[in-house]
Amino acid sequence: MSSYNRILTIQDISCVGQCSLTVALPILSASGNETCILPSAVLSSHTGGFKGYTFRDLTDDIPAIVKHWISEGIDFDAFYTGYLGTARQVELVMNIINSPLRKPDSHIIIDPAMGDNGVFYSGMGGEFLSAMKRLITMADIIIPNVTEACMLTGIEYRTNYDQQYIRQIVEGLTSIIGDGKTIVITGVGFRKGETGVGVYSDGNEFHYPHVKLEKNVSGTGDIFASAFTGALINGISTQESACIAADFTLAAIKETIENPVHWYGVKFETVLGEYIKRVVRN
């Protein structure tokens, strides 16, 4: 089933912290695909708990990088975006998706990485949100968590909710991105101690619940989105890709949960072998 695709992933390099590109690159490579990167910024660490991190915005480098690729006739089978540093960068990503780097059948997968637990990540806010609302209209698949889904739709963030609340969010997202798209929402749980992933497309609803482990760290959304993208690109259905990605993320959290020293991320590396067994089907 697997074929070899060229994926472009656009997100930051957080040098320390196991998120964004330091997660996407190994996981997508493990899925058996060529992974090209466009670093949106270089930070000494992620912004979720480290103090005094550095932030080098690479926005000004992006147009020349893209121009070079176009002059070389390079194109990509899939575009997968994660954390982007600024609203202007989001606009540049829209230009990339509209450029000759895209093929008619390229997959466009957008993780609107902006926040968690009801709040924006450090340094993000309204202007960024407006830009992200425009970017997601270009996606085939979006992968928000509940916080990001609420920010995008303007629906109040809640931690206790029922199916109707999630349906309202899905309707709101559909009205932004249009019909015929797939919405994958992470962190959806309807019972105490439960979380999970929801997959919604064209009126179809699928929910894969699993135990909620109390390890709230940056990067789990990136691990999920990268694992999901790798599976999907290998021809696995959106629902099965979501289950594989959820199982992988949970296994990675389990590897780390007992270790307070490893507070900043999760050890996905030690469970990559299990992921490969499920997504590489030659």
Residue 109's nearest CA partner among 33, 205, 195 is 33
d(CA 133, CA 77) in angstroms, rounded, equals: 23
The residue from 32, 189, 219, 230 that contacts ligand PXL (CB under 6 A) is: 219
The residue from 218, 226, 238, 241 that contacts ligand PXL (CB under 6 A) is: 218
113 vs 231, which CB is nearer to ligand PXL? 113
The one segment of 100-108, 195-203, 218-226, 236-244 that binds ligand PXL by CB under 6 A:
218-226
* Integer CA distances (angstroms), 191 to 7, 94, 117, 243, in order: 36, 38, 17, 18
Min dist CB 21 to ligand PXL, Å, is: 9
57 vs 75, which CB is nearer to ligand PXL? 57
Is 252 among the residues that bind ligand PXL (CB under 6 A)? no
Q: In angstroms, what is the C-alpha Rg of the chain?
A: 17
DSSP codes of every residue in 198-213: EEEETTEEEEEEEE--
188 vs 236, which CB is nearer to ligand PXL? 188
Is 20 among the residues that bind ligand PXL (CB under 6 A)? yes
CB atoms within 10 A of CB 202: 9
The one segment of 28-36, 46-54, 133-141, 182-190 that binds ligand PXL by CB under 6 A:
46-54
| H-helix or E-strand spanning residue 63 | helix 62-71
Is 14 among the residues that bind ligand PXL (CB under 6 A)? yes
